[in-house]
Amino acid sequence: MVYLTRKCEFSASHYYHNPDFTEEENRRVFGKCANLNGHGHNYTLEVTVKGEIDPQTGFVVDLKDLKEILDREVLDALDHRHLNKEVPEFARQIPTTENIAIAIWQRLESKLKVARLHRVRLYELPDLFVDFYGEA
């Protein structure tokens, strides 16, 4: 088993707001992130896949294919978007780094044909990242 990681970046805006909370609760739980005018980040995404090495190509996965899936399923949907307003998963869910990592996993998992998804690591900032391994 070999693990391969592909890195890419996207920039997006969001805010944190739970309609079931009062405004005061939203402010207390989410702090500055609750500002409904939103704010943005440069996200760094690392997608790790795992699999056996194909004896004919020496690849775990063809990077062209992986890049094309990442571009289509993730970057086209998230890059330079307002996550709350433009990405269907976040019409009801709060686009925290945790939930974005899970959404990216769900977008990618069924699209990978050769290798299996191992980890989605999403940096919101250089000092803050979330790992999701597909665990329930």
Partner 1 sequence: MKAHLTRRYIFSASHRLHSDILTMEENRAVYGKCNNPHGHGHNYALEVTVSGQVDAATGMVCNLVDLDAAVRNEVLERFDHVNLNLRPEFAAEVPTTENLSEVIFQILRQSFDKAHLEKVRIEETAKNSFEYCGS
> Would residue 23 show up in a list of annotated catalytic residues for this protein?
no
Which of these is catalytic: 9, 23, 80, 109?
80
Rounded Cα–Cα distance for residues 44 and 74 (Å): 12
Q: Residue 22 is inside which H or E element, if any?
A: none
Nearest distance from C-beta of residue 80 to partner 1, angstroms: 22
- The least CB distance from residue 46 to partner 1, in Å, is 12
Task: Work out the number of other CB atoms within 10 angstroms of the CB of residue 52.
Answer: 10
* Residue 35 neighbours by CB under 8 Å, 6+ apart: 15
Name the residues that contact partner 1, by CB under 8 A.
16, 18, 20-21, 29-31, 93-99, 101-102, 126-133, 135-136
Q: How many CB atoms lie within 10 A of CB 123?
A: 18
The residue among 14 and 61 lying less far from partner 1, judged by its C-beta, is: 14
Between the alpha carbon of residue 66 and those of residues 54, 59, 71, 123, the distances in Å are 15, 12, 9, 20
Cα 47 from Cα 103, distance rounded (Å)? 13
> Which of the following is catalytic: 33, 89, 98, 118?
33
Does 14 participate in catalysis according to the annotation?
no
Closer of 49 and 61 to partner 1 (Cβ): 49
- Pick 48 or 99: Cβ nearer partner 1: 99
Instruction: Please confirm, yes or no, whether 80 is among the known catalytic residues.
Output: yes
Closer residue to partner 1 (CB): 24 or 135: 135
Catalytic residues: 33, 80, 124
